[in-house]
A and B are shown apart, each in its own frame.
Chain A
Amino acid sequence: MISSISSDGTLLVFSLVLPVIGMLLAMLTGGRHARTVVLLMLVANVAVASGIITGIWESGQAITYHLGGWSPPLGIELRADGLSAAMMAVTALVSLAAGLYAPAGFRFPPSKGSPALESRMSFVFWFLLSATVAAMNLVFLAQDLFSLYVALELVAFAGVPMVALSGSANTLRAALRYLIFALIGSIFYLLGAVLLYGFYGTLDISLLAGLVEPGPSLWLILAFMTVGLAAKTALFPLHIWLPPAHAGAPPAASALLSALVVKASFFLVVRLWFDVVPGLPSPSASQVLGAMGAGAIMFGGVLALLQARLKLLIAYSTIAQLGYLFLAFPLAFGMGAGFETGPALTGGMFQAMAHAFAKASMFMAAGLIAEAIGHDRIADLGGLGRVLPVTCLAFGIAALSLIGVPPTGGFVAKWILLEVAATSGQWWWAVFLIVGGFLAGGYMFRVIVPALARDVVPPTLIAPVSKFREAVVLVLALLALALGLFSDAPAELLTLGRPPSADVIQP
């Protein structure tokens, strides 16, 4: 029974429909029940994601579904390959964790004896959380460039209000800046999409893959789309919107934004380069992308070293860690061969997954720390390990993964990329990988070393810390660790159901 459901595409539909139902029910029941409704939905979403993974794992094939029975180019196809399934699982787990972690202020009633039917937070946060899941799942599943545009806008419209949840002037400004970057990014993506339609008469990714021909028009289209998506992914030098946005949001929202939301547009860059125009990108174009990634690693790393506040440090670290993702593009040129799906892509996606768990854990840990001691000044965190041991442990594990220390998931990702850099003779990327690791080590130990210090007076706790929320943070960090300990299965999953080489597909 389960395998029959998981091998046909019905589960793909449910991964889109469930979060939308969550949104509609949250809208209807309001803040009083929004949390319950959305948490139930998130649990179901984890089940659906694991069902999809099972289906792909057992058949070794991608799962597809033609909505309304209309096949492309007229209709829209949903398609889950290994990449989608892995990212959907990450999304499901991180969003569930964010839901469980959400502080009391996001629940109903916000305070005892409150006469209101709902409070702003008790409705808005859950609605946005649900929308984020719907948007991410659509990004991972849609095979149609226009549906993916709608998905990008969903991601942005869910992310922007999250940034501004606290309503302070700084977060409003950060949210507005983020929205403008996101809008420009998606309109340039859409520009490329429509031009592709003008040349090839379809928006379906696998049909396009069989039709595209290299040429100046195609390069220009690809450039528009990639720049647009890079702006949304906060790829250096289009990153300026990210630190204030991610640092200003409430921790549960920061975790979603840094772990998931920025990955949506990265995932589309992957789709674009590896699936829409497989085999065509030129080495020089991918070197440019790699250079931007390298710039991000350096720039983000150095700025993270200079931050005085924990949340900003973590946000700058996101810029650096996103840089690694883009090293996958130049490295995807194997030993003199063309641009292809291979270990470089696996390394990049591994980095995306490991970073998602680690960064979500880290932002949530930072949130607990700020709540417990009333500030997040890095200089005053000395001795924190003695008062918040579990939180600090989680933070430490997540930090090890971001630095790339074995046996974490971050290590596996960086190791794969290093190996590819060595075997493909692109040693210069290896230099950036290693220096980036040292930078990450530097900024993380700025936090960890004082926190573990024994000879300082620990900060006083001004509020008790929920054991349950600490556990959620720790589980996320352990997931980043587990990704490294059990890396074989996920690495294999990432290679399943990838589209066959370009010349096989005929429209």
Chain B
Amino acid sequence: MSGLWDLLTILFVSMGVFFFVAGTVGLLRFPDSLTRLHALTKADNLGLGLIVLGLLPRVESPQDALKLLLVWALVLVASANSSQLIARKVRREES
């Protein structure tokens, strides 16, 4: 039983880490600010989300699970809005 859960953890966390790597590569290699922003949001949202999913089987109480999900939700909200703000700034400075 716990073996299966552990497998899930390994699977999801590994995928999450992969997205972090991908996002970082994008951040480093993409040519301009806006495409880099795109790479970044992917990593933020997916990478962290997968890690949260992977860690869910390991929590001890429903509260802790809720907290994990809340972290994810907050990062989603924050990154979506702040990327939009930064994108606006980039556009303004380019125009």
- The short answer to whether A and B are in direct contact, CB under 8 Å, is no
Chain A interface residues toward B at CB < 8 A: none
